[in-house]
Amino acid sequence: MGRDEAIGRLVSRALTRPSNVLPGAAVVAAGILLGFWPLALAGVAVYGVLAATTLFSRDEARRALGRPAAPAAAAAAAPLPATPAELRDPGVRQRYEEAHAEYGRIRQALAQSPVPLQEIEVETAGLMHDVGGLCRRAQAVCDYLGSVDEAALAADRTRAAEDLHTAGPDVAPALTETVAALDQQLGTVRDMYGKLRGFDARMRQLISNLGAIRGEIARLAVESHPDDSARVLEHVSSARELVSGITDTLADREQGGGTPAPGA
């Protein structure tokens, strides 16, 4: 892009940027409505100051030249965190890596965006940190399930229940407690499997949300008023709420009971 064209784009942006025009226009309108002309002149001055701020901004000059803002470029150069080694379960690891890959695409979109999106950059990094913690909880559930033999527990429960039918009064109480304890263990196993199914389904939803965040970042670069990043932050906020909800489910805080997985 030529220097003259870049300067023309920069001047046009400074003069027409909504965040420059609207505050000054509001003050001018208030002055006219009140019949207080010094206030209208102050509105013109506000517009002039905001336009000049845009005109002499280094980041605005970079965007006029079609270059990414410096903070985004630096973020793109920073290495992505590696997949945590403790995620040994193939299903948990797969979901983490899918989210990790989508996060990498988000970082690339941020680096290529002509709009500075530092807040979104920070929020998505925090979101990925939360995803890592969530997947570690899911791995703790897998570790628990890998330490128990559901079929053996069910067989022990059946034998204890059968023995109870013919047991004398001196043995019956112990067998009754044994059946109850085995029922509790089997219930915990079923609950943990349910948690993993919920984790997998909602992680797929989360990965879709990450794709939506990337789409909104791309949209900011092509819309006529790219300064409003509120939609992107709403998607990030929804994704973090989803992560929090899955974490609550794994930790049993929503249901207020149950046997927690070891290490969760």
Q: For 119-131, what is each residue's pLDDT tens digit?
A: 788 888 888 888 8
How would you classify residue 259: left for phi > 0, otherwise alpha for psi between -120 and 50, otherwise beta?
beta
| CA 42/CA 132 separation, integer angstroms | 52
pLDDT at 3 over 70: no
Q: Specify the amino acid at residue 145.
A: L
Q: For 82-93, what is each residue's pLDDT tens digit?
A: 678 889 999 999
Residues whose CB falls within 8 Å of the CB of residue 21, separated by 6 or more in sequence, listed in order: 15, 47
Average pLDDT over residues 52-75: 52
* Residue carrying structure tokens 């943990």: 192
| CA 130/CA 99 separation, integer angstroms | 11
pLDDT at 2 over 50: no
Q: For 205-226, what is each residue's pLDDT tens digit?
A: 999 989 988 888 888 767 645 4
Residues whose CB falls within 8 Å of the CB of residue 65, separated by 6 or more in sequence, listed in order: 1, 6
| Least confident span in 3-17, 41-55, 130-144, 176-190 | 3-17
Average pLDDT over residues 235-256: 71
- Lookup: tokens for 75: 């973020």
| Least confident span in 17-26, 53-62, 185-194, 227-236 | 53-62
pLDDT at 63 over 60: no
Looking at the chain, the whole-number percentage of residues with pLDDT higher than 70 is: 72
pTM confidence score = 0.61
